[in-house]
Structure 1
Amino acid sequence: MTAVSAVVVREPGAAPAIETVELPEPGSGQVRVRVRAAGVCHSDLSMVNGTLRPPYPLVLGHEAAGEVVAVGDDVTRARVGDHVGLNWQPACRMCWFCTHGQPWLCATSSGIPAIENGATVQGVPAYVTLGLGAFAEEVLVPENAVIGVPDALDWASAALLGCAVLTGTGAVRNTARVAQGDSVLVIGLGGVGLSVVAAARAAGAGPVIAVDVSEAKKALAEAAGATDFVVASDALAKEIRSRTSGRGADHAFECVGRSSTIRAAWRATRRGGQVTVVGMGRADDNVELSALDIFSSARTLRSSVYGNSDPDRDIPVLAADVLSGTIGVEHLITDRIGLDQVPAAFDRMSRGEGARSVVIF
């Protein structure tokens, strides 16, 4: 067993704390990775605040990158010393969804908040968030959860590729297929929303209108490439129409995960436009739209799960885009923190402050 420090939560609503977690040695097809950087994602907060209901005790964290330090038997896609990003939803490549071109809906890994992997806390079996538990000095994962990244890519950027950037960019490129000249509305400017803004601008969209409840997000939105910034209000639809020739946006991306913001995105989109829900909400938060409005507006409402991406294919492409300057990442990082500062990062996230906090090991 290998003892590592990790951020663990014992029960819903409890304060996360650093504890010693023991990891077994890699078995057949497994890889141990020394984590170099891990982003604090809203999905981690959802594991704590009751939005999701994982088993406990739970090692938090899932957006990470690091260096391979040990491999088990029969591992073919990673060697000791490799720089890798971590994939929290690795595709099995065998189920119906995987064989029909939708690996982001993999029947084996999709929708599972946490698993057991042999880790223990004080002798008790521990669960790891989204199969990773990456707020830890090291993680033990199946080899299909590691994806090689260039050594030239800094650790913080590599970490964010695994969730925020992949999810936001994938929503633009894979789900909505935003084209040059399309008007885009983005509601919610956390790490994912800002990644949507950056990807929309990279696609040649314009205007790209960024919306948040906080005026403090304006500078972040502009750094990501937004042409317009609007503070959310009850008059949002009217404001968006005034900036899109009276029609409404061609594309609206909801990056909050609330029924109220989904309805706001719907109302601010033109007839025949597309609404893409990227934010993950609560099971009991129902969205109500009139049957007549659905018919007469001819809008499309869809979700984008993990950016409708295939990380094995898309993370190397994104890494190349970051290194070439096509996609920016640095503006997403508002706080570089230590492992013991993760609870404070959750507090900032709950207050809507900043973009991504990244744990640097």
Structure 2
Amino acid sequence: MAAVIDAAVLNVAPGALDIEKLELDAPGPEEVLVRVINAGLCHSDLHEINGTFATTPPILLGHEASGVVEAVGSNVTGLRPGDHVVTCLSVFCGRCRYCTNGQLTLCENRDSLSHDRPRPRLRNAAGVPVRPTAGIGAFAQAMVVHQNALVAIPSEMPLATASILGCAVTTGLGAVFRSARVQPGSSVAVIGTGGIGTAAIQGAKIAGAAQVVAVDIVPEKLRAASRFGATHTVNAREADAVEAVRELTRGGADFTFEAVGSSRTVEQAFAMLGPGGLATVVGMVPDTAPISIKGSELYLQEKRLQGSFMGSNQFRVDVPRYIDLYLQGRLLLDEMVSQRVTLHGINDGFKAMSSGSATRVVADVGWL
């Protein structure tokens, strides 16, 4: 039986989100109905809102969220009504060659999991289908998602804090732990200290890096980076970031992480490396922005450049581990949430993100 919910829908891009009523379909055999409690605001959402990345409205954005299971389909296993859950963007089929090789973020059948159903999950008042981003669509009072987009979490984990686990935290920590495999005693530089960059800084500290250099252009965010584990900070507006990092790390960093999403910062991340170093690109770099690096540094200095989608995560294993670190006081998550907004005030949250002042904004969508 379909339900009517409030949701924040992008009807025009570039534009703003409109609060409107949507009809939400009942869950299918492998789907779960979740009452959304909190949803994190991500820069990938902002990129679609401001038109940096093309999208096809109407679309229901939002992909990192926490909530409570309301109902499950007939083939759902491991989840039941009342469970607290978080979503993850990298929903997986579990059957393709990448999934069976443990590379869930590269799943070949991800799109089919949300499209292979008799009718669209969401429709607006005019009866027009509304596409949920990544098959999730978290900026709403409820969502119907495939069971492989969810992981159950312990009830003692605060849901507002848990909402940022499914993207920002998993991406930043995973880039360090899984994609780059940062070694104890190594030197690390992180360009961009928003939600993902802050998680990467914490990951480098937990991994035992001897030096963690945070690079940004916002003084307040650099001060916060020190609280999250950065041993040094560089304001790229006041100094040559590449030279500063190379000097601090005595010839170049062992690992760098680009968490901004521009070709210039990718080039900087590569240039900051010492011989044999590894640069990991986490930010969403537009296809129209070419990246230029020196070929000689690849074959003479053995520098490496790689991408990392969602931190190469295995989120059903990773998220419980991150929650353990949080509950032990070793992973700071409450401090990463710089602003809370309501569903009706969600556009104000995106304005804060656009200003560059926010680490992570969380929307309070519902209540327990």
TM-score normalised over the length of structure 1: 0.95
State the distance in 2 between where 1:202 and 1:242 align: 24
- The correspondence for 2:124, drawn from 121, 126, 147, is 121
- CA deviation string 1:99-156 (max 9, x = no partner): 2221110011279999984210111111001111101110011122221000000012
Which shifted more, 236-245 or 192-201?
236-245
The CA deviation at 1:167 is 0.4
Greater CA drift, 163-172 or 14-23: 14-23
Rounded Cα–Cα distance in structure 1 between residues aligned with 2:182 and 2:304: 14
Matched, 1:224 2:224: no
Whether the 8 Å CA contact 2:193–2:222 is kept in 1: the answer is: no
SS in 2 for 1:79: coil
CA–CA distance in structure 2, aligned partners of residues 211 and 332 of structure 1: 17
User: How do 1:37-76 and structure 2 match up within 5 A?
Assistant: 37-76=38-77
1:19 and 1:287 map into 2 onto residues whose CA distance is 41
1:141 matched residue in structure 2: 145
CA RMSD of aligned residues (A): 1.8
CA distance in 1, matches of 2:260, 2:115: 22
Identify which of 148, 155, 158 aligns with 2:159.
Answer: 155
2:341 to 317, 337, 342: 337
The match for 1:242 is 247
Deviations 1:290-339 (A, max 9, x none): 32233223111001111011112111111122112221111210001111
- Which residue pairs with 1:16 in the alignment? 17
Q: Gaps spanning 5+ residues in structure 1: where?
A: none
Aligned length: 360
Q: Distance in 2 between matches of 1:112 and 1:263?
A: 36
Correspondence for 2:179: 175
| Range moving further from structure 2, 102-111 or 39-48 | 102-111
SS for the counterpart of 2:257 is: strand
Corresponding residue of 1:353:
357
Paired residues of 1:117 and 1:128 also in contact (CA < 8 A): no
Aligned to 1:276: 280
Following TM superposition, by how much is the alpha carbon of 1:86 offset from its aligned partner in structure 2, in angstroms? 0.9
Going from structure 1 to structure 2, the CA distance change for 1:268 and 1:52 (only over 3 Å counts) comes to same
Aligned residue type for 1:77: G
After TM superposition, list the pairs within 5 Å mapping 1:101-120 onto structure 2.
101-109=102-110, 117-120=120-123
Q: Verify the 8 A CA contact 1:214 1:352 in the aligned structure 2.
A: yes
Partners of 2:147 and 2:114 in 1: CA distance: 19
Q: Which amino acid aligns with 2:241?
A: L
CA contact (8 A) 1:114 1:129 kept: no
Distance 2:283 2:148 in 1: 26
Aligned to 2:30: 29
CA separation in 2, counterparts of 1:305 and 1:151?
29
Distance 1:70 1:317, change over 3 A: same
Q: CA offset at residue 195 of structure 1? A: 0.3
Q: Which moved more, 1:53-62 or 1:286-295?
A: 286-295
Within 5 Å, give how 1:79-98 maps onto structure 2: 79-98=80-99
One-letter code aligned to 1:39: G
Give 1:191's match in structure 2, choosing from 192, 195, 207.
Answer: 195
Structure 1 segments of 4+ aligned residues over 6 angstroms from their partners: 110-116
1:350, CA displacement in angstroms?
1.6
Matched residue type, 2:317:
R
The alpha-carbon distance between structure 1 residues 112 and 354, as it changes in their structure 2 partners (threshold 3 A), is farther
Equivalent pair of 1:198/1:327 in contact (CA under 8 Å)? yes
CA distance in structure 2 between the partners assigned to 1:339 and 1:127 by the alignment: 18
C-alpha separation in 1, matches of 2:112 and 2:17: 23
Which residue pairs with 2:330 in the alignment?
A: 326
Q: CA deviation at 1:262?
A: 0.5
Shift of 1:11: 2.3
Could you tell me how far 1:263 is from its partner in structure 2? 0.6
Letter in 1 for 2:10: V
